[in-house]
Structure 1
Amino acid sequence: MKKNIAIIMGGYSSESGISIQSGNVVFDHLDKNKFETYRVLISKEKWVHIDENEQEYPINMADFTTTVNGYKIKFDFVFNAIHGHPGEDGTLLAYFDLIGMPHSSAPFYQMAVAFNKRDCLSLLKAYGIKSARSVYLNKGDQINIEHIVKTVGLPCFVKPNRAGSSFGVSKVYSKDEIEPALQKAYQEDKEVLIEQFLDGTEVSVGVITWKNEIKVLPVTEIVSDNDFFDYEAKYLGESKEITPARISEVQKENVTRVARKIYKSMDLRGLSRADFIFVGDEPYFIELNMVPGLSAESILPKQAKEAGISLAELFESTIRIPNA
């Protein structure tokens, strides 16, 4: 008997539209001969299953089931395609753990730490992972421009602490630009990370659980047409993403080793993507993405293709149903 797979998409953040695109790709590519697949939209307004005719059926939040034409559908597994809150930050995953629903992501605590840039950087420093100098601020904190510049230098990046797809991120060149950049970041999150600019090659490394082993995918080089790898560069074609990356063998070995160490040290599972900037031959960790973009043109699927893994195989590799 085929297992029922709920593909959750949407979410409560600025990334909801991107998440819906990712979820639809998963829906289109999971093997229909093996699985019954269901699209589930989760938003602030509603939780609904959407069938192929765009008809909506409410989700019962008590047990995460839906009823279609009088027939109750119980899901065997959840594929998490929600970028941002509440899918990528662990919130929904804690709920699924409470009701005993297996899902494609890492445990909720690991997801929460990975999504929180400050906590993730702090944790990984203990494992010897190199990163840029940074300053943390909460909304309402006194802003000491001189301290910020002395600590991180100029130019620097101002980022929301818990957001993705480069929403709310600014590259700042002067002291006068810091406060406006902070206000922009605070529109996405009440916590902000101000980070040193590192001048070097930017790369992204997918790490997945593949046949019960940690697998590091081929490295992608990011070449943005813009000032940095912002929203337009990521989603509107204003960048070049080169796989495999044009880096030396030493750089490749170093970043592969560090990416694997991060995945193992944090006890991650499922699909992930870690971003780095090289300073010489040393990779400096930028951030983790635990629900990466999943279209055929997204970075991680391109890396999987380079490794000989199809979209169907990539998505199926996350499905682990106890006693199945």
Structure 2
Amino acid sequence: MKKKNIAVVMGGYSDEYKVSLKSGQLIYDSLDRDLYNVYKVIILKDEWYFLDDRGQKLPVNKADFSVSLDSGFEVKFDVCFNIIHGRPGENGELQAYWDTIGQKYTGCGFYQSALTFNKKDTLAVLSKYGIPSAKSIYIRKGDEVNAETVVAELGLPLFVKPNQSGSSLGISKVKTSAEFQKALEVAFAEDDEVLIECSLDGMEVSVGVVDYQGQIIVLGITEIVPHKEFFDYEAKYEGASEEITPARIDEETRLQVEDIAKKAYKSLGMSGFSRSEFIIMNGIPYMLEMNTNPGFSPASILPQQAKIYGISIKDLCGNEVEKALNK
């Protein structure tokens, strides 16, 4: 059987590209070389390139996402394994381009990617399915915002976050009205839309959901214990948190979280990896967001959950490739 050509596509246009390169390396190392020829493709703002066996950069032909080697041979990919965090691989841009040129890829499609990257719209859709979330106010850059009015409606503390960004970039916890304006500036530096949410006082959990061998399964529920105020970039990627899998919750709560996480996955028409964040307060899981290309470095939550569930990274990644091949 002829081996399939698989491009592990990593990088991105935001500060998350550093995490994406680590995620991509794990997937690159894990894919079965008996079944696949595995290549690295890096997508950055200024260049799209292919890394050959010698580490030499070769440009990607954007007309058909192919690569011409120095030998004159052209490499076309049977599947692109998309592991870009943030733009353009998690917000639908790359998926729309691949759809246009007929390129197969892993994960969810253009619509699901665009929707889930928009926190406000995701939560609005899921509310129709009875999935609760924090009370919030949505604003755009240029809108007049009165801190006292916001605090009167949402209370303190509250969270100010970019509507469309990942890895907790641009999020601030606001404890006093005096901190509000600075938090807005930090959030607007990441996005032109901002979501202001009331604080939910409870346990934060991260839930991995995938469609694996024809079934939608919950890989695990991980309890997040940040050493700082909340689960920010430093807590996620620089060790400033404790991540406990399985989460220290009772059986009834576990089943409820699993049920809601799967319901959200199905309701949004998801495919591939996903990691949803919840705050459990008074026994009720409140949805914060869903990530369609979650971190996949060795230290990331999803690989840890898969290991505990009993699925190897090789099998988990291979399953994604086979689904894409069969689309």
**TM-score with structure 2 length normalisation?**
0.97
Shift of 1:322: 4.2
Which of 245, 254, 257 is the equivalent residue of 1:255?
A: 257
User: Does the 8 A contact of 1:206 with 1:219 survive in 2?
Assistant: yes
Which letter does structure 2 place at the counterpart of 1:45? D
Corresponding position of 1:194? 196
Shift of 1:210: 0.2
Corresponding position of 1:7? 8
Shift of 1:323: 5.7
Shift of 1:20: 1.0
Q: How do 1:2-151 residues align onto structure 2 when only pairs under 5 Å count?
A: 2-68=3-69, 69-151=71-153
Shift of 1:177: 0.6
SS of 1:219's equivalent in the other structure is strand
SS of 1:129's equivalent in the other structure is coil
User: Does the 8 A contact of 2:277 with 2:290 survive in 1?
Assistant: yes
Shift of 1:151: 2.1
Which of 230, 233, 238 is the equivalent residue of 1:236?
A: 238
**Cα RMSD, aligned residues only:** 1.1
Q: How do 1:171-182 residues align onto structure 2 when only pairs under 5 Å count?
A: 171-182=173-184
| Residues 322 and 33 of structure 1, relative CA distance in 2, 3 Å threshold | closer
State the aligned residue count: 324
Provide the rounded CA distance (Å) in 2 between the counterparts of 1:117 and 1:321.
26
SS of 2:220's equivalent in the other structure is coil
SS of 1:128's equivalent in the other structure is coil
Provide the rounded CA distance (Å) in 2 between the counterparts of 1:92 and 1:321.
15
Corresponding position of 2:284? 282
SS of 2:320's equivalent in the other structure is coil
Corresponding position of 1:293? 295
Query: Could you list the per-position Cα deviations for residues 132-191 of structure 1 after superposition, in whole angstroms to 9, with x for gaps in the alignment?
Result: 000111111101212211222100110011111111110000111111000001111011
**TM-score with structure 1 length normalisation?**
0.98
Provide the rounded CA distance (Å) in 2 between the counterparts of 1:149 and 1:52.
56
Which of 214, 217, 242 is the equivalent residue of 1:215?
A: 217
Q: How do 1:156-167 residues align onto structure 2 when only pairs under 5 Å count?
A: 156-167=158-169
User: Does the 8 A contact of 2:106 with 2:324 survive in 1?
Assistant: no
Provide the rounded CA distance (Å) in 1 between the counterparts of 2:116 and 2:101.
23
Shift of 1:107: 1.1
Provide the rounded CA distance (Å) in 1 between the counterparts of 2:132 and 2:153.
16
**Which stretches of structure 1, 4 residues or longer, exceed 2 Å deviation after superposition?**
320-324
Gaps of 5+ in 2: none
Corresponding position of 1:318? 320
Provide the rounded CA distance (Å) in 1 between the counterparts of 2:324 and 2:223.
35
Shift of 1:53: 2.3
SS of 1:278's equivalent in the other structure is strand
User: Does the 8 A contact of 1:41 with 1:47 survive in 2?
Assistant: yes
User: Does the 8 A contact of 2:78 with 2:325 survive in 1?
Assistant: no
Shift of 1:242: 0.6
Shift of 1:52: 3.5
User: Does the 8 A contact of 1:133 with 1:151 survive in 2?
Assistant: no
Which letter does structure 1 place at the counterpart of 2:6? I
User: Does the 8 A contact of 1:134 with 1:151 survive in 2?
Assistant: no
Provide the rounded CA distance (Å) in 2 between the counterparts of 1:55 and 1:74.
18
Provide the rounded CA distance (Å) in 2 between the counterparts of 1:36 and 1:229.
37
Provide the rounded CA distance (Å) in 2 between the counterparts of 1:7 and 1:187.
30
SS of 1:214's equivalent in the other structure is strand
